[in-house]
Structure 1
């Protein structure tokens, strides 16, 4: 069996075209199911003959957008420089790899390989058709640009942040259930800022019924911040029609079920890339136990409460050797409080569960 031919290195003009492709990719929508992608087509002399970018779900992908600006046959022998590997599947649009082949493109240069199990493989299809292909060009810049979309695509689910505010001894409420306010103004302002940076905010029906939260992101004066997370309530109990969450500026998502993975799949299908979990210990425990937490935010107030109202319920850990280990990312002081940002270690196993039913 003969070895596969080596990829020719990208020329300086192709690298410059990749920088331009990243620049125009930013014209597309930053949120949603699809990534921001840019494409620059170079003629035989290395000059730019067309540019394109993806404008959102259902619209032409960047490669097809660029090709549409050329007369029939004008792309023959040209080079397409794309920030993401041309797709190899039919969704709302056809496969870009096929469109490039049919247009007569002679060479394709891309930055990041498509991580999708269905959409990937475009480079192999192009090579099989005799197109010269070089990948990994300015890959670091492109991966930084794609940011959370690429991480979500590789994980196959939205990123999950689990947050709670507690006393130093890990209590989220006093014995009588009161919890406002454990932390101070600076910590609460930080929470609202982080809410606004996420696509969705999640609580269980238990929290929705007990606290009647609005699930909005607000400023210090109580006004709504420009960016609002989609409110999501998970569980099987009904939420009153006059609940505060129904007055959220975005429609509430009511997930009738107890499976965290199923909920994340549902949210990802709608374009959600990040979820901020602010429910009580039942919801937080469910996502931690399922291995579905990427970041843990713990706001610690310098108070002691004692009692049973812990931030996390039973994780099913019987011995210290099975503890769910986290790595400290940073520690911030917020007025009198501390914010501990941590992340489960990459080797942290999913904790087996003998009971998949959650009372939320």
Structure 2
């Protein structure tokens, strides 16, 4: 296997494969979203991205398309066939033969990929299978940041058995998320709320606290042009089961009941537990840490459900818990064009001692910023040794 020998054509086709991979972010779980392009000489004969719910894989979609191309069907093979894929082709046989074996059967001469698959069933093994069949494999060292963005959730879950966590916040210019009485509709504008639908579609699950459910009665479903996408998993943190669960609750009314999970403390009211399960919801009891539900345990249980990316939509106490424990990978914040009273609801509560100096508070790296009408969206990530 080599990591060099790329030309401009190779780089361009890898970029196309990345574009294909981005289409499936949030739709292919528990599998990663992968893009694949197949070239016969300098002609593209097949393209594919991982299908909804993860099957078939991108390579299989591209191979199926390529086998119908007239250049592939000619009796004499005049040009070399190269498979460009964002992730190392899988090596394990599951419900169908591995992609590595299918690439060999297809007759490829060369495979160029961006990242080795961290799955122990494939890591390095896909390459070994291909090279054993005489296929030249190239691990391209380009588009690293773009590639990591497409599989961030998958990589995090494989490494830590926890999902990639995005905190999604809508606040006023002065950092308030609602009036003192709890009114929050609408701090952000129409364009921002439409962008939130795209953000939800790019995640596998949404998490909220009981206060958000009680004050806003949110639907948390995909709407508008995203309404035909499979609805997301919903996680509700409700330590004391304070929410009056019924069929009229919008979260239950507009989402698939089997995808709704309620996290609560151990030894809760048995009648309330019975009512929740009668509605067809899932209930998970976890321990407490410093008087609150243990976020680390919750994330591990969400990881066990094979959730790659988790969108945390509030409210203040939930975001603060994630910040305090450093259990977040990015913050997506929308600033509306309004200013609320100083006594209005803050975005975060205190999470460090009151005498903490400025240098003791976390600093973040700005990854993205854009205006939506009069609103501003910014994406921040923790500063790590890698960044």
TM-score normalized with structure 2 length:
0.63
Superposed CA RMSD in Å reads 4.5
> Structure 1 residues 163, 52: closer, same or farther in 2, change over 3 A?
closer
Gaps of 5+ in 2: 158-162, 264-285, 287-292
Matches within 5 A, 1:1-360: 9=5, 31-33=27-29, 34=31, 35-40=33-38, 42=40, 46=41, 51=46, 53=48, 54-57=50-53, 59-64=55-60, 66=63, 69=67, 79-84=81-86, 85-101=88-104, 103=105, 105=107, 107-118=109-120, 119-121=122-124, 122-128=126-132, 130-136=134-140, 139-140=142-143, 144=146, 148-156=149-157, 157-158=163-164, 160-166=166-172, 168=174, 170-175=175-180, 177-181=181-185, 183=187, 187-197=188-198, 198-199=200-201, 200-216=205-221, 224-228=223-227, 230=232, 231-238=234-241, 239=243, 240-241=245-246, 242-248=248-254, 250-251=256-257, 253-256=260-263, 257=286, 258-260=293-295, 274-289=309-324, 290-299=326-335, 302-307=338-343, 309-317=345-353, 319-320=356-357, 321-328=359-366, 329-330=368-369, 332=371, 335=374, 339=376, 341-347=378-384
- SS for the counterpart of 1:344 is strand
Secondary structure, aligned partner of 1:160 = strand
Return 260-269 or 90-99, whichever deviates more.
260-269
**Does the C-alpha gap of structure 1 residues 233 and 124 become closer, same or farther in structure 2, counting only changes over 3 Å?**
same
Aligned length: 322
CA distance in 2, matches of 1:216, 1:311: 23
How far off is 1:163 after superposition?
0.3
The 2-side partners of 1:348 and 1:15 are apart by 28
Q: Provide, for residues 103-151 of structure 1, a one-character-per-residue CA deviation record: whole Å limited to 9, x for no partner.
A: 38573222312342333312244335543222328x43x975x685323
- The question of whether the paired residues in 1 share the 8 Å contact of 2:363 and 2:383 is answered with no
* Uncovered stretches (5+) of structure 1, i.e. residues with no partner: 218-223, 350-360
Cα 1:236/1:254, change in 2 over 3 Å = farther
- Of Structure 1 and Structure 2, the greater helix share is in 2
* Greater shift in the superposed pair: 155-164 or 14-23: 14-23
For residues 172 and 25 of structure 2, what CA distance do their matches in structure 1 show? 37
